[in-house]
Amino acid sequence: MEQAIISQAPQLEKLIATTAHEKMPWYHSKIARQEGERRLYSGAQPDGKFLVRDREESGTFALSVMYGKTTYHYQILHDKSGKYSMPEGTKFDTVWQLVEYLKMKPDGLVTILREPCVNPNCAMAATPTVPPVRRIGFLQTNGYTPPPKAPDRTLPMDTSVYESPYSDPEALKEKKLFIKREQLMIDEVELGSGNFGSVKKGVYKMRKKQIDVAIKVLKSENEKSVKDEMMKEAEIMHQLDNPYIVRMIGICQAESLMLVMEMAASGPLNKFLSSRKDQISVENVTELMHQVSLGMLYLEENNFVHRDLAARNVLVVNQHYAKISDFGLSKALGADDNYYKARTAGKWPLKWYAPECINFHKFSSKSDVWSYGITMWEAFSYGGKPYKKMKGPEVINFIVAEKRMDCPTGCPDVIYTLMMDCWIYKHVERPDFAKVEERIRTYYYSVSKKTPPEENAEEAAAAALPI
Protein backbone atom coordinates (compact mmCIF):
# COMPACT_ATOMS: atom_id res chain seq x y z
CA MET A 1 0.00 0.00 0.00
CA GLU A 2 2.81 2.36 0.92
CA GLN A 3 4.50 1.71 -2.43
CA ALA A 4 1.20 2.17 -4.26
CA ILE A 5 0.80 5.57 -2.64
CA ILE A 6 4.41 6.57 -3.32
CA SER A 7 4.54 5.49 -6.93
CA GLN A 8 1.00 6.37 -7.92
CA ALA A 9 0.47 9.48 -5.78
CA PRO A 10 0.23 12.01 -8.64
CA GLN A 11 -2.36 9.88 -10.45
CA LEU A 12 -4.28 9.16 -7.26
CA GLU A 13 -4.30 12.83 -6.31
CA LYS A 14 -5.79 13.76 -9.66
CA LEU A 15 -8.30 10.95 -9.51
CA ILE A 16 -9.47 11.82 -6.01
CA ALA A 17 -9.69 15.56 -6.59
CA THR A 18 -11.44 15.36 -9.93
CA THR A 19 -14.01 12.83 -8.83
CA ALA A 20 -14.51 14.11 -5.25
CA HIS A 21 -17.94 15.57 -6.08
CA GLU A 22 -19.24 12.08 -6.84
CA LYS A 23 -19.13 11.30 -3.11
CA MET A 24 -20.97 14.49 -2.07
CA PRO A 25 -24.58 14.29 -0.86
CA TRP A 26 -25.52 17.22 -3.14
CA TYR A 27 -24.38 15.37 -6.27
CA HIS A 28 -27.28 13.60 -7.98
CA SER A 29 -25.44 12.33 -11.10
CA LYS A 30 -27.51 12.08 -14.27
CA ILE A 31 -31.06 13.14 -13.54
CA ALA A 32 -33.38 15.23 -15.68
CA ARG A 33 -34.04 18.86 -14.84
CA GLN A 34 -37.64 18.01 -13.83
CA GLU A 35 -36.42 15.27 -11.50
CA GLY A 36 -34.00 17.80 -9.95
CA GLU A 37 -36.92 20.14 -9.31
CA ARG A 38 -38.99 17.34 -7.84
CA ARG A 39 -36.20 16.48 -5.41
CA LEU A 40 -35.72 20.13 -4.40
CA TYR A 41 -39.44 20.57 -3.78
CA SER A 42 -39.69 17.47 -1.64
CA GLY A 43 -39.42 18.27 2.08
CA ALA A 44 -38.44 21.71 3.38
CA GLN A 45 -37.71 24.39 0.76
CA PRO A 46 -35.31 26.87 2.36
CA ASP A 47 -33.48 29.49 0.29
CA GLY A 48 -30.14 28.16 -0.91
CA LYS A 49 -31.16 24.48 -0.98
CA PHE A 50 -29.20 23.08 -3.91
CA LEU A 51 -28.09 20.09 -5.92
CA VAL A 52 -25.64 19.41 -8.75
CA ARG A 53 -26.55 17.07 -11.59
CA ASP A 54 -25.01 15.90 -14.86
CA ARG A 55 -26.61 17.62 -17.81
CA GLU A 56 -28.10 15.12 -20.16
CA GLU A 57 -26.06 14.51 -23.33
CA SER A 58 -23.59 17.41 -22.89
CA GLY A 59 -21.16 15.93 -20.36
CA THR A 60 -21.28 19.14 -18.30
CA PHE A 61 -22.84 19.87 -14.92
CA ALA A 62 -25.85 21.92 -13.84
CA LEU A 63 -26.54 23.53 -10.49
CA SER A 64 -30.17 23.77 -9.34
CA VAL A 65 -30.90 26.19 -6.49
CA MET A 66 -34.08 26.95 -4.53
CA TYR A 67 -34.87 30.61 -3.75
CA GLY A 68 -38.27 32.04 -2.73
CA LYS A 69 -39.82 28.60 -3.38
CA THR A 70 -38.65 28.83 -7.02
CA THR A 71 -35.95 26.65 -8.58
CA TYR A 72 -33.17 28.26 -10.62
CA HIS A 73 -30.96 26.19 -12.91
CA TYR A 74 -27.42 27.19 -13.88
CA GLN A 75 -24.95 25.58 -16.17
CA ILE A 76 -21.52 25.08 -14.65
CA LEU A 77 -19.01 26.25 -17.25
CA HIS A 78 -16.08 24.00 -18.04
CA ASP A 79 -13.42 25.82 -20.04
CA LYS A 80 -10.66 24.62 -22.34
CA SER A 81 -8.11 24.40 -19.56
CA GLY A 82 -10.52 22.26 -17.56
CA LYS A 83 -11.61 24.89 -15.01
CA TYR A 84 -15.13 25.07 -13.61
CA SER A 85 -16.98 28.33 -12.94
CA MET A 86 -20.19 30.30 -13.05
CA PRO A 87 -20.22 32.79 -15.96
CA GLU A 88 -17.78 35.63 -15.24
CA GLY A 89 -17.09 33.95 -11.91
CA THR A 90 -14.01 32.60 -10.17
CA LYS A 91 -12.58 29.49 -11.81
CA PHE A 92 -11.85 26.27 -9.96
CA ASP A 93 -10.12 23.02 -10.72
CA THR A 94 -12.90 20.82 -9.44
CA VAL A 95 -16.66 20.92 -9.03
CA TRP A 96 -16.49 20.45 -5.27
CA GLN A 97 -14.20 23.44 -4.88
CA LEU A 98 -16.63 25.58 -6.88
CA VAL A 99 -19.55 24.44 -4.72
CA GLU A 100 -17.63 25.19 -1.52
CA TYR A 101 -16.89 28.67 -2.86
CA LEU A 102 -20.52 29.28 -3.81
CA LYS A 103 -21.44 28.56 -0.20
CA MET A 104 -19.55 31.74 0.68
CA LYS A 105 -20.07 33.97 -2.39
CA PRO A 106 -23.09 34.00 -4.75
CA ASP A 107 -20.85 34.76 -7.80
CA GLY A 108 -23.90 35.70 -9.89
CA LEU A 109 -26.36 33.19 -8.38
CA VAL A 110 -29.66 34.36 -6.81
CA THR A 111 -28.31 33.28 -3.43
CA ILE A 112 -25.34 31.61 -1.84
CA LEU A 113 -25.61 27.83 -1.53
CA ARG A 114 -26.77 26.69 1.88
CA GLU A 115 -28.38 23.35 2.47
CA PRO A 116 -27.65 20.40 0.20
CA CYS A 117 -30.61 18.57 -1.26
CA VAL A 118 -29.42 15.09 -0.33
CA ASN A 119 -29.28 12.52 -3.09
CA PRO A 120 -31.39 9.61 -1.86
CA ASN A 121 -28.85 7.24 -3.44
CA CYS A 122 -25.84 8.84 -1.75
CA ALA A 123 -24.04 6.67 0.78
CA MET A 124 -23.15 9.64 2.98
CA ALA A 125 -26.30 10.67 4.85
CA ALA A 126 -24.86 13.77 6.49
CA THR A 127 -22.97 16.60 4.83
CA PRO A 128 -19.31 15.69 4.95
CA THR A 129 -16.85 18.22 6.23
CA VAL A 130 -15.08 19.31 3.11
CA PRO A 131 -12.07 21.53 3.54
CA PRO A 132 -12.96 25.02 2.32
CA VAL A 133 -11.53 25.88 -1.11
CA ARG A 134 -8.28 24.12 -0.47
CA ARG A 135 -5.66 23.84 -3.14
CA ILE A 136 -4.07 20.44 -3.18
CA GLY A 137 -0.98 19.31 -4.98
CA PHE A 138 -1.34 19.74 -8.69
CA LEU A 139 -4.27 22.10 -8.29
CA GLN A 140 -2.28 25.30 -8.48
CA THR A 141 -3.62 28.62 -9.70
CA ASN A 142 -0.42 29.60 -11.50
CA GLY A 143 0.97 27.34 -14.16
CA TYR A 144 -0.95 24.80 -16.09
CA THR A 145 -3.72 22.75 -14.56
CA PRO A 146 -4.83 19.61 -16.34
CA PRO A 147 -8.49 19.33 -17.20
CA PRO A 148 -10.21 17.51 -14.41
CA LYS A 149 -11.23 14.41 -16.20
CA ALA A 150 -10.57 11.09 -14.58
CA PRO A 151 -7.30 9.59 -15.86
CA ASP A 152 -8.11 7.05 -18.52
CA ARG A 153 -5.17 4.78 -17.79
CA THR A 154 -4.75 1.72 -15.67
CA LEU A 155 -2.76 2.34 -12.51
CA PRO A 156 -0.16 -0.31 -11.60
CA MET A 157 -2.26 -1.29 -8.56
CA ASP A 158 -5.21 -2.04 -10.84
CA THR A 159 -3.27 -4.64 -12.81
CA SER A 160 -3.22 -8.33 -11.97
CA VAL A 161 0.53 -8.27 -11.34
CA TYR A 162 0.63 -5.57 -8.67
CA GLU A 163 -0.03 -7.99 -5.84
CA SER A 164 1.44 -11.42 -5.56
CA PRO A 165 -0.86 -14.18 -6.88
CA TYR A 166 -0.31 -15.61 -3.38
CA SER A 167 -1.45 -12.48 -1.52
CA ASP A 168 -4.76 -14.19 -0.79
CA PRO A 169 -4.19 -16.35 2.35
CA GLU A 170 -6.02 -19.26 0.70
CA ALA A 171 -3.68 -19.16 -2.29
CA LEU A 172 -0.67 -18.71 0.00
CA LYS A 173 -1.33 -22.14 1.50
CA GLU A 174 -0.63 -23.58 -1.96
CA LYS A 175 2.65 -21.66 -2.46
CA LYS A 176 5.53 -24.04 -3.04
CA LEU A 177 8.86 -23.72 -4.78
CA PHE A 178 8.02 -26.63 -7.10
CA ILE A 179 4.76 -26.48 -9.02
CA LYS A 180 2.89 -29.27 -10.74
CA ARG A 181 3.14 -29.72 -14.52
CA GLU A 182 -0.62 -30.25 -14.86
CA GLN A 183 -1.24 -26.73 -13.56
CA LEU A 184 0.83 -25.28 -16.37
CA MET A 185 -0.22 -24.70 -19.97
CA ILE A 186 2.65 -23.81 -22.27
CA ASP A 187 2.05 -21.84 -25.41
CA GLU A 188 4.25 -22.09 -28.48
CA VAL A 189 4.69 -18.31 -28.45
CA GLU A 190 8.28 -17.41 -27.63
CA LEU A 191 8.72 -14.19 -25.65
CA GLY A 192 12.48 -14.16 -25.81
CA SER A 193 15.57 -16.29 -25.58
CA GLY A 194 18.96 -16.61 -23.99
CA ASN A 195 21.82 -19.12 -23.99
CA PHE A 196 19.94 -21.23 -21.39
CA GLY A 197 16.99 -21.73 -23.77
CA SER A 198 13.80 -19.83 -24.48
CA VAL A 199 11.12 -17.91 -22.61
CA LYS A 200 7.61 -19.03 -23.53
CA LYS A 201 4.18 -17.68 -22.85
CA GLY A 202 1.82 -19.75 -20.72
CA VAL A 203 -1.01 -19.94 -18.23
CA TYR A 204 -0.77 -21.15 -14.65
CA LYS A 205 -3.96 -22.59 -13.19
CA MET A 206 -4.45 -21.85 -9.52
CA ARG A 207 -7.37 -23.04 -7.43
CA LYS A 208 -9.40 -19.87 -7.85
CA LYS A 209 -7.86 -18.19 -10.88
CA GLN A 210 -5.63 -18.53 -13.91
CA ILE A 211 -2.71 -16.23 -14.46
CA ASP A 212 -0.63 -15.39 -17.51
CA VAL A 213 2.96 -16.44 -17.03
CA ALA A 214 6.34 -16.33 -18.74
CA ILE A 215 8.21 -19.62 -18.62
CA LYS A 216 11.98 -19.85 -18.86
CA VAL A 217 12.57 -23.27 -20.40
CA LEU A 218 16.02 -24.73 -19.98
CA LYS A 219 17.40 -26.45 -23.10
CA SER A 220 17.82 -30.14 -22.33
CA GLU A 221 21.35 -30.23 -23.74
CA ASN A 222 22.50 -27.59 -21.23
CA GLU A 223 25.22 -28.54 -18.79
CA LYS A 224 24.57 -29.02 -15.11
CA SER A 225 26.14 -25.62 -14.32
CA VAL A 226 23.39 -23.84 -16.32
CA LYS A 227 20.76 -25.82 -14.45
CA ASP A 228 22.40 -24.85 -11.15
CA GLU A 229 22.37 -21.19 -12.22
CA MET A 230 18.67 -21.39 -12.94
CA MET A 231 18.02 -22.96 -9.54
CA LYS A 232 20.02 -20.18 -7.85
CA GLU A 233 17.98 -17.58 -9.72
CA ALA A 234 14.80 -19.34 -8.57
CA GLU A 235 15.96 -19.40 -4.94
CA ILE A 236 16.61 -15.65 -4.98
CA MET A 237 13.32 -14.84 -6.74
CA HIS A 238 11.41 -17.06 -4.32
CA GLN A 239 12.42 -14.72 -1.48
CA LEU A 240 11.29 -11.52 -3.19
CA ASP A 241 7.84 -9.99 -3.23
CA ASN A 242 7.50 -6.45 -4.49
CA PRO A 243 5.21 -4.80 -7.07
CA TYR A 244 8.24 -3.50 -9.03
CA ILE A 245 10.01 -6.85 -9.26
CA VAL A 246 8.95 -9.72 -11.52
CA ARG A 247 7.72 -12.43 -9.16
CA MET A 248 8.51 -16.06 -9.58
CA ILE A 249 5.49 -18.34 -9.43
CA GLY A 250 7.56 -21.49 -9.05
CA ILE A 251 9.87 -24.03 -10.62
CA CYS A 252 8.51 -26.89 -12.67
CA GLN A 253 10.58 -29.99 -13.33
CA ALA A 254 8.99 -31.86 -16.24
CA GLU A 255 10.05 -32.31 -19.88
CA SER A 256 12.60 -29.56 -19.03
CA LEU A 257 13.44 -27.51 -16.00
CA MET A 258 11.19 -24.47 -16.12
CA LEU A 259 11.17 -21.21 -14.18
CA VAL A 260 7.64 -19.82 -14.11
CA MET A 261 7.28 -16.07 -13.63
CA GLU A 262 4.68 -13.34 -13.73
CA MET A 263 4.13 -12.02 -17.21
CA ALA A 264 5.37 -8.55 -18.18
CA ALA A 265 3.80 -8.52 -21.62
CA SER A 266 5.44 -5.44 -23.11
CA GLY A 267 8.96 -6.81 -22.90
CA PRO A 268 12.35 -5.23 -22.13
CA LEU A 269 12.44 -1.48 -21.42
CA ASN A 270 15.18 -0.65 -23.97
CA LYS A 271 13.23 -2.18 -26.86
CA PHE A 272 9.93 -0.81 -25.57
CA LEU A 273 11.27 2.75 -25.52
CA SER A 274 13.22 2.62 -28.77
CA SER A 275 10.11 1.51 -30.66
CA ARG A 276 7.90 4.21 -29.11
CA LYS A 277 10.12 7.31 -29.06
CA ASP A 278 7.32 9.58 -30.24
CA GLN A 279 4.64 8.23 -27.93
CA ILE A 280 6.42 8.17 -24.58
CA SER A 281 7.08 11.45 -22.82
CA VAL A 282 10.10 12.18 -20.64
CA GLU A 283 7.69 12.33 -17.70
CA ASN A 284 6.54 8.80 -18.56
CA VAL A 285 10.16 7.59 -18.65
CA THR A 286 10.69 9.25 -15.25
CA GLU A 287 7.65 7.43 -13.90
CA LEU A 288 9.01 4.06 -15.06
CA MET A 289 12.49 4.77 -13.72
CA HIS A 290 11.00 5.85 -10.40
CA GLN A 291 9.32 2.46 -10.21
CA VAL A 292 12.66 0.79 -10.91
CA SER A 293 14.18 2.79 -8.03
CA LEU A 294 11.37 1.53 -5.75
CA GLY A 295 12.15 -2.07 -6.71
CA MET A 296 15.87 -1.45 -6.13
CA LEU A 297 15.14 0.20 -2.78
CA TYR A 298 13.31 -2.97 -1.78
CA LEU A 299 16.39 -5.03 -2.71
CA GLU A 300 18.68 -2.64 -0.80
CA GLU A 301 16.47 -2.79 2.29
CA ASN A 302 16.37 -6.57 2.14
CA ASN A 303 20.10 -7.06 1.57
CA PHE A 304 20.04 -8.35 -1.99
CA VAL A 305 22.38 -7.21 -4.73
CA HIS A 306 21.06 -7.50 -8.28
CA ARG A 307 24.37 -7.31 -10.19
CA ASP A 308 22.73 -7.12 -13.61
CA LEU A 309 20.52 -4.07 -13.56
CA ALA A 310 20.19 -2.78 -17.13
CA ALA A 311 17.31 -1.57 -19.31
CA ARG A 312 17.22 -5.02 -21.00
CA ASN A 313 16.44 -6.50 -17.58
CA VAL A 314 13.62 -4.10 -16.76
CA LEU A 315 10.40 -5.56 -18.15
CA VAL A 316 7.40 -3.47 -19.05
CA VAL A 317 3.91 -4.52 -17.95
CA ASN A 318 2.30 -1.53 -19.62
CA GLN A 319 3.30 2.01 -20.57
CA HIS A 320 3.01 3.09 -16.93
CA TYR A 321 4.31 0.04 -15.13
CA ALA A 322 7.76 -1.55 -15.12
CA LYS A 323 9.37 -4.35 -13.11
CA ILE A 324 12.94 -5.46 -12.50
CA SER A 325 13.77 -8.95 -13.74
CA ASP A 326 16.67 -11.34 -14.37
CA PHE A 327 18.11 -12.37 -11.04
CA GLY A 328 20.61 -14.76 -12.61
CA LEU A 329 23.60 -12.93 -11.10
CA SER A 330 21.88 -11.77 -7.90
CA LYS A 331 23.07 -12.56 -4.40
CA ALA A 332 21.56 -12.40 -0.95
CA LEU A 333 24.06 -10.71 1.37
CA GLY A 334 24.81 -12.08 4.80
CA ALA A 335 23.25 -10.18 7.69
CA ASP A 336 26.57 -8.52 8.55
CA ASP A 337 27.83 -7.99 5.02
CA ASN A 338 27.21 -5.05 2.80
CA TYR A 339 28.93 -6.45 -0.22
CA TYR A 340 29.44 -9.69 -2.12
CA LYS A 341 32.92 -10.59 -3.26
CA ALA A 342 33.14 -12.65 -6.42
CA ARG A 343 36.05 -15.08 -6.40
CA THR A 344 36.60 -14.88 -10.12
CA ALA A 345 35.42 -12.56 -12.84
CA GLY A 346 32.78 -14.03 -15.10
CA LYS A 347 30.97 -13.01 -18.24
CA TRP A 348 30.15 -9.62 -16.80
CA PRO A 349 28.21 -6.67 -18.25
CA LEU A 350 31.21 -4.34 -17.78
CA LYS A 351 29.51 -1.23 -19.17
CA TRP A 352 27.00 -1.43 -16.31
CA TYR A 353 29.56 -2.16 -13.60
CA ALA A 354 31.00 0.23 -11.02
CA PRO A 355 34.80 0.55 -10.69
CA GLU A 356 34.90 -1.48 -7.42
CA CYS A 357 33.19 -4.42 -9.20
CA ILE A 358 35.84 -4.47 -11.91
CA ASN A 359 38.83 -3.67 -9.70
CA PHE A 360 38.02 -5.64 -6.56
CA HIS A 361 35.07 -7.88 -7.58
CA LYS A 362 33.04 -6.20 -4.84
CA PHE A 363 29.28 -5.90 -5.37
CA SER A 364 26.94 -3.91 -3.14
CA SER A 365 23.74 -1.89 -3.37
CA LYS A 366 26.03 1.04 -4.18
CA SER A 367 27.37 -0.80 -7.23
CA ASP A 368 23.73 -1.46 -8.20
CA VAL A 369 23.28 2.34 -7.93
CA TRP A 370 26.01 2.75 -10.57
CA SER A 371 24.11 0.29 -12.83
CA TYR A 372 20.89 2.18 -12.11
CA GLY A 373 22.61 5.32 -13.46
CA ILE A 374 23.51 3.48 -16.69
CA THR A 375 19.93 2.14 -16.88
CA MET A 376 18.65 5.71 -16.47
CA TRP A 377 20.91 6.80 -19.30
CA GLU A 378 19.54 4.01 -21.52
CA ALA A 379 15.95 4.90 -20.62
CA PHE A 380 16.30 8.65 -21.13
CA SER A 381 18.04 8.05 -24.46
CA TYR A 382 15.08 5.83 -25.43
CA GLY A 383 16.96 2.58 -25.62
CA GLY A 384 20.36 4.01 -26.66
CA LYS A 385 23.48 1.87 -26.33
CA PRO A 386 25.74 3.10 -23.51
CA TYR A 387 29.30 4.18 -24.41
CA LYS A 388 28.49 3.83 -28.10
CA LYS A 389 30.95 1.49 -29.80
CA MET A 390 33.50 1.40 -26.97
CA LYS A 391 34.59 -2.02 -25.75
CA GLY A 392 34.63 -2.96 -22.04
CA PRO A 393 38.35 -2.15 -21.39
CA GLU A 394 38.00 1.21 -23.20
CA VAL A 395 35.06 2.05 -20.95
CA ILE A 396 37.20 1.34 -17.88
CA ASN A 397 39.89 3.78 -19.08
CA PHE A 398 37.18 6.34 -19.92
CA ILE A 399 35.82 6.16 -16.33
CA VAL A 400 39.27 6.27 -14.73
CA ALA A 401 39.99 9.41 -16.80
CA GLU A 402 36.99 10.93 -14.97
CA LYS A 403 34.91 11.00 -18.12
CA ARG A 404 31.20 10.17 -18.10
CA MET A 405 28.53 9.75 -20.77
CA ASP A 406 26.90 12.97 -22.01
CA CYS A 407 23.38 13.96 -21.11
CA PRO A 408 20.92 12.24 -23.48
CA THR A 409 19.08 14.64 -25.78
CA GLY A 410 16.00 16.05 -24.09
CA CYS A 411 16.91 14.57 -20.70
CA PRO A 412 16.15 17.05 -17.88
CA ASP A 413 19.14 18.51 -15.99
CA VAL A 414 17.88 17.20 -12.63
CA ILE A 415 17.82 13.68 -14.03
CA TYR A 416 21.28 13.99 -15.56
CA THR A 417 22.65 15.29 -12.25
CA LEU A 418 21.20 12.23 -10.53
CA MET A 419 22.76 9.94 -13.18
CA MET A 420 26.14 11.61 -12.66
CA ASP A 421 25.82 11.11 -8.89
CA CYS A 422 25.17 7.42 -9.49
CA TRP A 423 28.55 7.41 -11.28
CA ILE A 424 30.58 8.88 -8.42
CA TYR A 425 33.79 6.89 -8.48
CA LYS A 426 34.03 6.13 -4.76
CA HIS A 427 31.09 3.99 -3.66
CA VAL A 428 31.00 5.57 -0.19
CA GLU A 429 30.26 8.94 -1.77
CA ARG A 430 27.57 7.60 -4.09
CA PRO A 431 23.91 8.00 -3.00
CA ASP A 432 22.12 4.87 -1.84
CA PHE A 433 18.73 3.80 -3.24
CA ALA A 434 16.91 5.50 -0.37
CA LYS A 435 18.34 8.80 -1.64
CA VAL A 436 18.03 7.94 -5.35
CA GLU A 437 14.36 7.00 -4.95
CA GLU A 438 13.62 10.17 -3.01
CA ARG A 439 15.34 12.37 -5.61
CA ILE A 440 13.66 10.85 -8.65
CA ARG A 441 10.30 10.84 -6.84
CA THR A 442 10.60 14.53 -5.94
CA TYR A 443 11.38 15.37 -9.55
CA TYR A 444 8.64 13.08 -10.91
CA TYR A 445 5.99 14.58 -8.64
CA SER A 446 7.07 18.11 -9.60
CA VAL A 447 6.71 17.44 -13.35
CA SER A 448 3.59 15.33 -13.14
CA LYS A 449 1.79 18.22 -11.42
CA LYS A 450 2.40 20.41 -14.46
CA THR A 451 1.70 17.93 -17.22
CA PRO A 452 -0.43 19.29 -20.01
CA PRO A 453 -3.45 17.22 -20.99
CA GLU A 454 -3.06 14.53 -23.61
CA GLU A 455 -5.98 16.11 -25.38
CA ASN A 456 -7.99 19.25 -24.82
CA ALA A 457 -11.10 18.82 -22.79
CA GLU A 458 -14.20 19.58 -24.75
CA GLU A 459 -15.03 23.22 -24.42
CA ALA A 460 -18.31 23.72 -22.68
CA ALA A 461 -20.77 25.84 -24.55
CA ALA A 462 -21.12 29.17 -22.81
CA ALA A 463 -24.85 28.85 -23.06
CA ALA A 464 -27.25 31.51 -21.94
CA LEU A 465 -28.01 31.17 -18.27
CA PRO A 466 -29.99 30.23 -16.36
CA ILE A 467 -30.66 27.00 -18.21
List active site positions.
Answer: 308
268 binds ligand AMP (CB under 6 A): yes
SS3 category, 324? strand
267 binds ligand AMP (CB under 6 A): yes
238 binds ligand AMP (CB under 6 A): no
The correct pick among 77, 113, 191, 285 for binding ligand AMP (CB under 6 A) is: 191
Q: What residues between 313 and 332 interact with ligand AMP by CB under 6 A? A: 315, 325-326
Residue nearer to ligand AMP on the CB measure, 147 or 268: 268
203 binds ligand AMP (CB under 6 A): no
The correct pick among 184, 263, 305, 354 for binding ligand AMP (CB under 6 A) is: 263
The correct pick among 66, 264, 357, 358 for binding ligand AMP (CB under 6 A) is: 264
Shortest separation between residue 261's beta carbon and ligand AMP, angstroms: 4
Cβ(382)–Cβ(361) below 8 Å: no
Q: What residues have CB less than 8 Å from 425, skipping those under 6 apart?
A: 355, 399, 402
Counting residues that bind ligand AMP (by CB under 6 A) gives 15
Alpha-carbon span 317 to 389, nearest angstrom: 30
Alpha-carbon span 192 to 190, nearest angstrom: 6
Cβ(40)–Cβ(69) below 8 Å: no
- DSSP code at position 124: -
- Which region among 190-198, 275-283, 347-355, 376-384 touches ligand AMP (by CB under 6 A)? 190-198
**In 129-213, where does DSSP find H-type helix?**
169-173
217 binds ligand AMP (CB under 6 A): no
137 binds ligand AMP (CB under 6 A): no
419 binds ligand AMP (CB under 6 A): no
Residue nearer to ligand AMP on the CB measure, 199 or 285: 199
Encode 336-354: b = buried (16+ Cβ within 10 Å), e = exposed: eeebbeeeeeeebbbbbbb
Measuring CA to CA, how many Å separate 191 from each of 227, 257, 263, 289, 425?
20, 17, 10, 23, 37
311 binds ligand AMP (CB under 6 A): no
- CA-based nearest residue to 40, from 69, 60, 74: 69
Residue nearer to ligand AMP on the CB measure, 46 or 194: 194
In the chain, the amino acid numbered 138 is F
245 binds ligand AMP (CB under 6 A): no
Cβ(64)–Cβ(53) below 8 Å: yes
240 binds ligand AMP (CB under 6 A): no
Q: Establish whether 362 is an annotated binding residue.
A: no
Residue nearer to ligand AMP on the CB measure, 106 or 192: 192
Beta strands in 156-281 (DSSP E): 184-194, 197-205, 210-218, 248-253, 257-262
- Which region among 1-9, 112-120, 257-265, 446-454 touches ligand AMP (by CB under 6 A)? 257-265
Give phi and psi for 102, each to the nearest 5: -70, -10
CA end-to-end distance (rounded Å), the chain: 45
- DSSP code at position 196: T
Cβ(208)–Cβ(170) below 8 Å: yes
165 binds ligand AMP (CB under 6 A): no
Residue nearer to ligand AMP on the CB measure, 131 or 194: 194
The correct pick among 51, 246, 257, 324 for binding ligand AMP (CB under 6 A) is: 246
Alpha carbon 230 to chain centroid distance? Answer: 30
296 binds ligand AMP (CB under 6 A): no
214 binds ligand AMP (CB under 6 A): yes
- Which region among 24-32, 42-50, 261-269, 389-397 touches ligand AMP (by CB under 6 A)? 261-269
- Which region among 173-181, 260-268, 447-455, 457-465 touches ligand AMP (by CB under 6 A)? 260-268
Q: What residues have CB less than 8 Å from 367, skipping those under 6 apart?
A: 305, 307, 339, 353, 354, 356, 357, 427
106 binds ligand AMP (CB under 6 A): no
Element (H, E) at 305: strand 304-305
Shortest separation between residue 168's beta carbon and ligand AMP, angstroms: 21
- Which region among 89-97, 258-266, 362-370, 449-457 touches ligand AMP (by CB under 6 A)? 258-266
Shortest separation between residue 206's beta carbon and ligand AMP, angstroms: 17
192 binds ligand AMP (CB under 6 A): yes
Q: How many residues are listed for the chain in this entry? A: 467
Cβ(430)–Cβ(421) below 8 Å: yes
Alpha-carbon span 13 to 11, nearest angstrom: 5
Binding site residue list: 216
The contact set with ligand AMP (CB under 6 A) reads 191-192, 194, 199, 214, 246, 261-264, 267-268, 315, 325-326
